[in-house]
Amino acid sequence: MNPTALGWACRAGAGYLGVVGRTSRYRIIGRAAVEAARGEGPVLWAFWHNRLLGPLVPYRDQGIGVVISRSDDGELISRIVERFGYVSIRGSSSRGGAMALRGVLRHLASGRDVALTPDGPRGPRYRVQPGVAMAAVRSGVPVVPVGVAYSRRWVAPSWDRFQVPLPFGRVELVLGPPLRFDHREPIGRVRAVIQGAIGRATQRADARVGWVPP
């Protein structure tokens, strides 16, 4: 994408999400336990790639780091989230993974949260890749599993069935209990625990809006 087109796309995307934010009702379940954990230090937020737009507005302007792929689409997403006060950490499980992990650990060490989509950017959908587990074990910070659902949505024909919230709807965020892992725990087990927790939170969020995924 050339710079001019990228700039227009960024403004359009940020403008649209601003409209969604102003016209939607946000409900956050499980906030107390998560805020208590955040009072002790940074956390890792983990939610599925196809729901990544949900937390954007309610947690804006807090300097939260967001892991974003080094693709052309990632460049657009990076510019959009930065307009909402997030910090881009570039890299993914498929490109620049080691660099992304170092960036995550640095951001956490500075005392700020990091958000990841553990099944992105290429999937398989709803399968946790090693990155979030490695970050949790190495940093020692808790992982917050997040379920996201929209009462009104458009679903893209992409690998992950990416969901775009529509204006004048309801956005449900279900925050599971923070997960803490010992540095000696096997990565495979950590992945399985995180995957199960995000799955349960997502099912709860979907049920709150009456959504039955195909």
pLDDT per residue over 73-129, tens digit each?
778 889 999 999 999 998 655 555 688 899 999 999 999 999 999 997 888 999 999
The reported pLDDT for the residue numbered 105 is 95
CB 17 within 8 A of CB 80: yes
Is 214 domain-assigned?
Answer: no
Q: Higher model confidence: residue 73 or residue 39?
A: 39
Burial class of residue 104 in the structure, from the number of CB atoms within 10 Å of its CB (0-12 exposed, 13-18 middle, 19+ buried): buried
Rounded-to-integer distance, Cα 50 and Cα 14, Å: 17
- At 162, the amino acid letter reads F
Is 65 domain-assigned?
Answer: yes
The reported pLDDT for the residue numbered 116 is 94
Is 138 domain-assigned?
Answer: yes
C-alpha gyration radius of the chain = 16
Is 169 domain-assigned?
Answer: yes
User: Lowest-confidence range among 14-23, 44-53, 137-146, 204-213?
Assistant: 204-213
% of the chain beyond a pLDDT of 90: 81
The reported pLDDT for the residue numbered 121 is 81
102-105 contact pairs (CB < 8 A, 24+)? 103/65, 103/67, 104/44, 104/65, 104/67, 104/131, 104/135, 104/139, 105/135, 105/138, 105/139
pLDDT at residue 44 tops 90: yes
Name the pLDDT band for 70 (thresholds 50, 70, 90): confident
Q: Model confidence over 147-186: pLDDT tens digits? A: 999 999 999 999 999 999 999 999 999 999 999 999 899 9
pLDDT at residue 2 tops 80: no
Number of domains in the chain: 1
Cis amide leading into 121 (omega within 30): yes
% of the chain beyond a pLDDT of 70: 95
Is 9 domain-assigned?
Answer: yes
pTM of the model: 0.92
Nearest to 67 by CA among 6, 124, 14, 117: 117
pLDDT at residue 1 tops 80: no
Rounded-to-integer distance, Cα 182 and Cα 166, Å: 40
- What Cα–Cα distance (Å) separates residue 45 from each residue in 32, 173, 204? 15, 12, 17
Q: Higher model confidence: residue 18 or residue 68?
A: 18
The reported pLDDT for the residue numbered 182 is 92
User: In which domain, by residue range, is 8 found?
Assistant: 3-209
Is 49 domain-assigned?
Answer: yes
The reported pLDDT for the residue numbered 93 is 52
CB 26 within 8 A of CB 57: yes
Which whole number is the average pLDDT over 201-213? 93
- At 87, the amino acid letter reads V
How many H-runs (helices) and E-runs (strands) does the chain carry?
6, 9
Rounded-to-integer distance, Cα 95 and Cα 111, Å: 26
Is 189 domain-assigned?
Answer: yes
